[in-house]
Amino acid sequence: MQIAADPPSRLDKALSRDVPEAAELSRSRLAKLIAEGCVRRGGMVLSDAKAKVAEGEMIEITLPAVVETETQAQDIPLEVVWEDDDLIVVNKPAGLVVHPAPGSPSGTLVNALLHHCGDTLSGIGGERRPGIVHRIDKDTSGLLVVAKSDRAHHGLALQFEKHSVERRYLALCYGAPDPGDPRLRGVKGTHFEAGGVLRITTQLARHKTDRQRQAVLFHGGRHAVTRVRSLETFGQPVVAALVECRLETGRTHQIRVHMAHIGHGLIGDATYGGRRKLAEKAVGTGAAALAAAFPRQALHAATLGFSHPITGEKLSFEAPLPDDMADLIRALRR
């Protein structure tokens, strides 16, 4: 490839600007190729990303063969909502882990995608694997978008970094976030916006003593914003609600931690929801028992919207409530 006119002062930035789109090389991939000695000028290796370049110089980039990932492909059923050469959108069931980890080395969404996508994966960072740009908890159901090419992976990651992706969740919680509740107005990090939307703004970080949990902070940690709106309430008096949660940021356990912070933990959430129970007098014996036995946090990623990282097309997807949450809602309504 040739360096075009008025190049940036650094090699990595110049390559990112001038490398042909057909090469599908993201900035992070180019940086890795430079560090690995795969970039040359006049036969000399350029291993410094800050190296100077000039207009008209010819730069040679050698792409190593895409290596197969060590993760095994497994024939696990997938609900594919949409797919093309660069992306795949799936509706993940509750109970399926997204990515292999020490406690879940197999049987994950990644294992399933390796089987489903096969040779259509062109390689993420030089490895033939799906590009995971966001995750949802094992026991949360709903929509996920996954990249099948390096260029798509980079483009999606930028959108998540800029918080331009639409993510709408549905959840069942104890009580109901009510603009008229004076208690809520006293909870630090919260305020109501127009339309009865509760904005929760805190920092989140790993809990000091329980490494499996996240904790709300107001100094340190990572910035987190969730907007919550009640859609339907249940019981006389009200003891539960169906709420809509929209993520501005996407931190680990964010919705679950924020809902617990405002005193409206999710039904079924053994980690953050506490041991609360619904009063039988308010919702009936059957609904109270169903809620008490609910086997997971009642949380579903219902809407996912973003721009296609290659074509720029605006895409939006909806996933209906899974049967377990729909059954609980029907029981609460009765």
In angstroms, how far is CA 14 from the centroid of its own chain?
A: 31
Determine contact, residues 122/66, Cβ cutoff 8 Å: yes
Collapsing DSSP to helix, strand or coil, 264 comes out as coil
Collapsing DSSP to helix, strand or coil, 318 comes out as strand
Collapsing DSSP to helix, strand or coil, 251 comes out as coil
CA-to-CA dists, residue 239 to 111, 209, 242, 328, 334, angstroms: 40, 31, 11, 14, 14
The interaxial angle of helices 150-161 and 27-35, nearest 10 deg, is 120
DSSP summary character for residue 140: -
- Hey, which residues are catalytic here? 137
Residue 83 CB burial class (10 angstroms; 0-12, 13-18, ≥19): middle
Element (H, E) at 231: strand 222-234
DSSP string, 296-308: S--EEEEEEEEE-
The interaxial angle of helices 27-35 and 11-18, nearest 10 deg, is 130
CA-to-CA dists, residue 109 to 120, 259, 316, angstroms: 16, 27, 21
Rounded to an integer, what distance in angstroms lies between the CA atom of residue 235 and that of residue 241?
9
